[in-house]
Amino acid sequence: MQLTHNGIFISVEGIEGAGKSSAMLTITNWLKDKGISITTTREPGGTKIAEEIRQLILSHNEENIHFITELLLFFAARSQNIHNCILPALKSGNAVIADRFIDATFAYQQGGRGISEETISILEKLVLNDLKPDLTILLDVTVDTGMARIKNRAELNKQQPDRIEQEKLDFFTNVRNCYLQRAEKFNDRIVIVDANQSLQDVNKQLETILSKKLSKYFAK
Ligand code: Z5A
């Protein structure tokens, strides 16, 4: 099957432990089965410089990172990702699948940190310049379930939480609520998946959404 336009841009969102990693894999395999070339990326990250900015954002520092500095760092990484990874891939006709994109900034920096929507929108306009995903999958999980999964994974891998993962439950509740509000506001683009279910059921939901939402991109 051929894409009828140059590329397709899909982002995957959700709080910690929502299951983004396995959803990325399911989406990739679904598109590959249709003969589509895939570029995967993640935010913050996706290019060498953006990955270096990621390290800076997520590591524990002696010096406090001000929330506006943090916001600018997310957008600096995103600018690199857009210009050096996402746009070239879309222009060559690939499907780009991003583990987080702009909705994460509204959810975490507006919902979590309390920065105004207007401030974030100014940077959105500057950096994205009207680029937006064709489809955003929001894996919605309760904060308790998400945190329990992360705790299990950390115990298994003997990992410490990163700088953002160590935030309190309230922070993640606000992040989740902001994601849900955006899903309501942009209901033509953002589709909610109930990620509290088993991996098998989540995958079924994903495949149904992909078939429904992406059929228009494939030639008969
Ligand atoms: N951030 C921000 O603040 N602003 C921004 O603009 C952007 C990001 C872009 C890095 O993100 C951090 O940056 C993140 C948001 C912030 N902050 N935090 N904290 P990241 O995406 O790189 O990191 P993450 O959100 O911490 O990823 P994660 O914890 O790995 O979440 P996940 O990918 O959804 O987790 P997972 O590996 O898919 O699943 C976690 C575990 O649960 C794993 O053991 C799975 O096997 C298990 N799992 C998953 N789904 C299920 C189901 N359905 N049933 C049972 N078990 C499951």
- Name the residue ranges covered by the structural domains of the chain: 8-217
The encoded tokens of residue 13 equal: 């969102």
Class of domain 8-217: alpha beta
Closest atom of ligand 1 to CA, residue 101: 9
Query: Ligand 1 within 6 A of 75 CB?
Result: no
User: pTM of the predicted model, to two decimals?
Assistant: 0.95
- Nearest atom in ligand 1 to the alpha carbon of residue 202 is 53
The token pair at 46 is: 């996706």
Q: Which residues contact 145 (CB under 8 A, 6 or more apart)?
A: 17, 196
End-to-end CA distance of the chain: 8
Residue 71: what pLDDT? Answer: 98
How far apart, in whole angstroms, are the C-alpha atoms of residue 180 and residue 195? 13
Rg of the Cα atoms in the chain: 17
DSSP annotation of 46: S
- What are the pLDDT tens digits along the chain (220 aa)? 343 347 999 999 999 999 999 999 999 999 999 999 999 999 999 999 999 999 999 998 889 999 999 999 999 999 999 999 999 999 999 999 999 999 999 999 999 999 999 999 999 999 999 999 999 999 999 999 999 999 898 888 878 777 677 778 899 999 999 999 999 999 999 999 999 999 999 999 999 999 999 988 776 5
Query: Which pLDDT score, from 0 to 100, does residue 219 have?
Result: 60
